[in-house]
Structure 1
Amino acid sequence: MRRLLTALAAASALMVAQPVLAQDGPAKIALIHGLSGSPLEAYSKQTHTGFEMGLEYATKGTNEIKGRKIELVKKDSQFKPDIARALLAEAYADEDVVFAVGDTSSGVAMAMLPVAAENEKILLVEPAVADGLTGKDSNRYVFKTSRNSSMDMQAQALALKPDSNLYIATLAQDYAFGRDGVVAFKTALEGTGANLVHEEYVPQQTTDFTAPIERLFNALKDKQGRKVIVIYVAGIDAMTPLVTADPGRYGIELSTGGNILPALAGYKKVPGMEGAIYYYYEAPKNPVNDWFVAEHQKRFNAPPDFFTAGGFAAAMAVAKALETASDWETETLIKTMEGMSFDTPKGPMTFRTEDHQALQSMYHFKIKVDPNVAWAIPELVREIKPEEMKIPIGRNNQQ
């Protein structure tokens, strides 16, 4: 009997000890982004820089939460869906990561969603944009700090002030990002009276825009009213060929969203152009952004960029979840993060309970050209608050 009691006591002690041991040592977070093989590589590198700075800010420089060091595991998806899936599965199984963050390309990120469900672990999507990432093909293990196509296009529509006198043609890339963006834009225009007369889709890495531009011009040139080509592309320069083709001779305007600072240099060709942007370092006014801008300028001799802000926001979400949750088991983290608000350089974001999309502000801008600044300045017209945008709920959180 004494031996049996001793054995039971030992088993009981082991059961008590196991949760403690399971949360011993460093907590690993995988950053899975394309770091080679695409023009979008710069976006990934900015995301990683921003994540590291956000983690530093959230932990007051310790990179430690609840006594555990945070270890970042960086993996290169090469912008290939099959590689991204394999790396994510490896991170969950072999690295035993608490969170995985990725990918840069919407098409690659879509391929990663089922892996999160199969492993019953959280995937935080940043910076991929497509609405489908929190849509019907997503699952309850997916959260998303990056803005989505609907936010881009709801804000873009608000910036254009659409009415029945407005005629629009769209130029987008032929994959999830571009297709979802145009669908979202059409939804944003519903009930405004505006007329979407043509949709043009080009391959992801198009360099010759001759034929697409001709079709866009032909669709708009004879319309009586305000005529606008809305550009929704990533990683390619569509602005230069459009400007060179002189849309002004037909009274056609150009409009697009924001971009990274090197790409904004091309916007100098369109002074006065209006659109909507996710982040420009001078737009938000809050203590987090003040620190972010000052520190980034000090360390890199340049202000933080579009995707640096996204990486920072993702780190702030991860840190808030780990700090707030009673334990770091997946189910506890999901319950903690649903409806959770967290600070970012853009101000507060909130994970919507239904589909885990982070609701956030966007910024209506008007292009200002300053010869002393290397890029065109998307000067703030006004902040577009989350409640102004009717962002469709992607899925039910029970899926």
Structure 2
Amino acid sequence: MRRRHLLGAGLAIAVAGMAGNAMAQSEIKIGEINSYSLLPAFTEPYRKGWQLAVEEINAAGGINGKKLVVVSKDDGGKPADATTAANELVSSENVAMLTGTFLSNIGLAVSDFANQKKVFFLAAEPLTDAITWSKGNRYTFRLRPSNYMQAAMLVEEAAKLPAKRWATIAPNYEYGQSAVAVFKKLMSEKRPDIQWVDEQWPPQGKIDAGPVVQAVAAANPEAILNVTFGADLVKLVREGNTRGLFKNRSVVSFLTGEPEYLDPLKDETPEGWIVTGYPWYDIKTPDHDKFLKAYQAKFNDYPRLGSIVGYQTIKAAAAILAKANSTDPEKLIAATEDLSMPSPFGEITFRKIDHQSTLGAFVGKTALKDGKGLMVGSVYRKGADYLPGDAEVAKLRPKD
């Protein structure tokens, strides 16, 4: 009896183990990293976006019949913590790929980890050009339009302004430095007559707006490039409005038309700024209508740009895994290069030459209506139209 019991117990354990292995084989895990606790205004809509994508993917049969599971970690806005999270996701969770990140310095840290460990990484949000060019590697791809792409879109409008004296205000870290550098380069190429009369570099998340506004005003520019966002943008606008900095001056501003940054400005929203953003209320296309209805039905809320980024990141990851029909990094890379797919903004492609997607952005102007900031007169700019040619990219990106 005792022997029979032991045999039965052993068989039960073996069957349970087989079931566990079968369960593990019936799902694919994606690792996701972002600055949830540091930047909730962007990352919470972002999380909702990827949750909607996961739900849709699994409802449609998963990835080649396997359930998609996202394992998410918070990097707290620290590159070292992001690298630790990446290592845990790869070594403990056995994820098929890494996705996410927000801040450019964190994106670069995870990209470097991916390159060293030979792990596929789909960067969602970080905008620095270094991710796909000077520090690009074969294991890293990027979804959002880069600083170069958004600068080129803004310069197209900014170059029409009569202003010749320009000042810049940007957070003093990778993203801000990259954005200012590429805007100045592209703008000076189109308008060699302009002068750069002042630069202000407040620390990210810790702007002392009074001295910044005072210094820019003292330089007496005719136009200002702004790269601040989040709470820093609110403080800058409030102080600038109080001191009249923006009166009779043109302002060109990265990202300010995104609802997560425009909404907090409320009735202090400055009018007439040239911005990139996401006028979700003014986009009339079948692709976007489908996304908008699904998002509002699930969350009873309107989407932010973060929602689009989170949604499309996981949709792209699923498309890559489905095409590769494998979790092998080399096969994932081969599947992604020149892969096209739908998005709420229309079809996008991940370019083989630099691993940059052709997702675009909307360009328009800020306006104030009923005590709320809006983006008006917006036009969608396709990302492919604002990327340099292959010969120039070859000079910018190291060979893999």
Q: Could you state the TM-score of these two structures normalised by the residue count of structure 1? A: 0.85
For the residues of structure 2 that align with 1:243 and 1:95, how far apart are their CA atoms?
50
Which residue of structure 2 aligns with residue 144 of structure 1? Answer: 142
**Is the alpha carbon distance of 1:278 and 1:344 closer, same or farther for their aligned partners in structure 2, counting shifts above 3 Å?**
farther
| Aligned counterpart in structure 1 of residue 242 of structure 2, from 235, 241, 244 | 244
Secondary structure of the residue aligned to 1:29 is strand
> Considering only aligned residues, what root-mean-square deviation do their CA atoms show, in Å?
2.5
Is the contact between residue 121 and residue 139 of structure 2 (CA under 8 Å) also seen in structure 1? yes
Which residue of structure 1 aligns with residue 155 of structure 2? Answer: 157
Which residue of structure 2 aligns with residue 329 of structure 1? Answer: 328
Gaps of 5+ in 1: 1-19, 222-226
For the residues of structure 1 that align with 2:361 and 2:377, how far apart are their CA atoms?
10
Which residue of structure 2 aligns with residue 4 of structure 1? Answer: none
**Is the alpha carbon distance of 1:209 and 1:271 closer, same or farther for their aligned partners in structure 2, counting shifts above 3 Å?**
closer
For the residues of structure 1 that align with 2:267 and 2:165, how far apart are their CA atoms?
24
Q: How does 1:170-209 map to 2 (within 5 A)?
A: 170-193=168-191, 194-209=194-209
For the residues of structure 2 that align with 1:317 and 1:334, how far apart are their CA atoms?
13
1:254-310 alpha-carbon deviations (Å, 9 max, x no partner):
332334425313264355413232433135443331122112222333211011111
| Aligned counterpart in structure 2 of residue 230 of structure 1, from 205, 225, 231 | 225
For the residues of structure 2 that align with 1:213 and 1:197, how far apart are their CA atoms?
14
Which residue of structure 1 aligns with residue 211 of structure 2? Answer: 211
Which residue of structure 2 aligns with residue 381 of structure 1? Answer: 378
Greater Cα offset, 164-173 or 263-272: 263-272
- The residue identity in structure 1 corresponding to 2:80 is D
For the residues of structure 1 that align with 2:117 and 2:54, how far apart are their CA atoms?
25
Q: CA deviation at 1:397?
A: 7.1
Secondary structure of the residue aligned to 1:114 is helix
Greater Cα offset, 138-147 or 270-279: 270-279
Q: CA deviation at 1:50?
A: 0.9
Q: CA deviation at 1:191?
A: 2.4
Greater Cα offset, 282-291 or 346-355: 282-291
Is the contact between residue 100 and residue 123 of structure 2 (CA under 8 Å) also seen in structure 1? yes
Q: CA deviation at 1:387?
A: 4.2
- The residue identity in structure 2 corresponding to 1:208 is D
Is the contact between residue 312 and residue 345 of structure 1 (CA under 8 Å) also seen in structure 2? no
Secondary structure of the residue aligned to 2:190 is coil
Q: CA deviation at 1:349?
A: 1.7
Which residue of structure 1 aligns with residue 127 of structure 2? Answer: 129
Gaps of 5+ in 2: 1-20
Q: CA deviation at 1:216?
A: 1.0
**Is the alpha carbon distance of 1:331 and 1:316 closer, same or farther for their aligned partners in structure 2, counting shifts above 3 Å?**
same
Secondary structure of the residue aligned to 2:31 is strand
**Is the alpha carbon distance of 1:63 and 1:376 closer, same or farther for their aligned partners in structure 2, counting shifts above 3 Å?**
farther
Greater Cα offset, 188-197 or 173-182: 188-197
Q: How does 1:314-325 map to 2 (within 5 A)?
A: 314-325=313-324
Secondary structure of the residue aligned to 1:244 is helix
| Aligned counterpart in structure 2 of residue 253 of structure 1, from 246, 250, 253 | 250
More helix per residue: 1 or 2?
A: 2
Is the contact between residue 252 and residue 273 of structure 2 (CA under 8 Å) also seen in structure 1? yes
Secondary structure of the residue aligned to 1:152 is helix
Is the contact between residue 36 and residue 44 of structure 2 (CA under 8 Å) also seen in structure 1? yes
For the residues of structure 2 that align with 1:329 and 1:344, how far apart are their CA atoms?
25
Is the contact between residue 164 and residue 195 of structure 1 (CA under 8 Å) also seen in structure 2? no
Secondary structure of the residue aligned to 1:376 is strand
For the residues of structure 1 that align with 2:79 and 2:183, how far apart are their CA atoms?
26
Which residue of structure 2 aligns with residue 14 of structure 1? Answer: none
Q: CA deviation at 1:161?
A: 3.4
For the residues of structure 2 that align with 1:53 and 1:366, how far apart are their CA atoms?
30
For the residues of structure 1 that align with 2:131 and 2:214, how far apart are their CA atoms?
33
Which residue of structure 1 aligns with residue 13 of structure 2? Answer: none
**Is the alpha carbon distance of 1:54 and 1:196 closer, same or farther for their aligned partners in structure 2, counting shifts above 3 Å?**
farther
For the residues of structure 2 that align with 1:279 and 1:23, how far apart are their CA atoms?
39
For the residues of structure 2 that align with 1:60 and 1:88, how far apart are their CA atoms?
24
Which residue of structure 1 aligns with residue 360 of structure 2? Answer: 361
Secondary structure of the residue aligned to 2:30 is strand
For the residues of structure 1 that align with 2:250 and 2:163, how far apart are their CA atoms?
14
Is the contact between residue 50 and residue 307 of structure 2 (CA under 8 Å) also seen in structure 1? yes
Q: How does 1:44-63 map to 2 (within 5 A)?
A: 44-57=43-56, 59=57, 61-62=59-60
For the residues of structure 2 that align with 1:275 and 1:283, how far apart are their CA atoms?
17
- The residue identity in structure 2 corresponding to 1:331 is E
| Aligned counterpart in structure 1 of residue 77 of structure 2, from 71, 76, 79 | 79
Is the contact between residue 273 and residue 366 of structure 2 (CA under 8 Å) also seen in structure 1? yes
- Determine what percentage of the aligned residue pairs are the same residue: 22
1:48-85 alpha-carbon deviations (Å, 9 max, x no partner):
2111223334x272461111101110111111111110
**Is the alpha carbon distance of 1:60 and 1:93 closer, same or farther for their aligned partners in structure 2, counting shifts above 3 Å?**
closer
For the residues of structure 2 that align with 1:342 and 1:105, how far apart are their CA atoms?
25
Q: CA deviation at 1:103?
A: 1.0
Secondary structure of the residue aligned to 1:54 is helix
Provide the aligned length of Structure 1 versus Structure 2: 369
- The residue identity in structure 2 corresponding to 1:384 is R
For the residues of structure 1 that align with 2:93 and 2:131, how far apart are their CA atoms?
24
**Is the alpha carbon distance of 1:253 and 1:282 closer, same or farther for their aligned partners in structure 2, counting shifts above 3 Å?**
same
- The residue identity in structure 2 corresponding to 1:156 is L
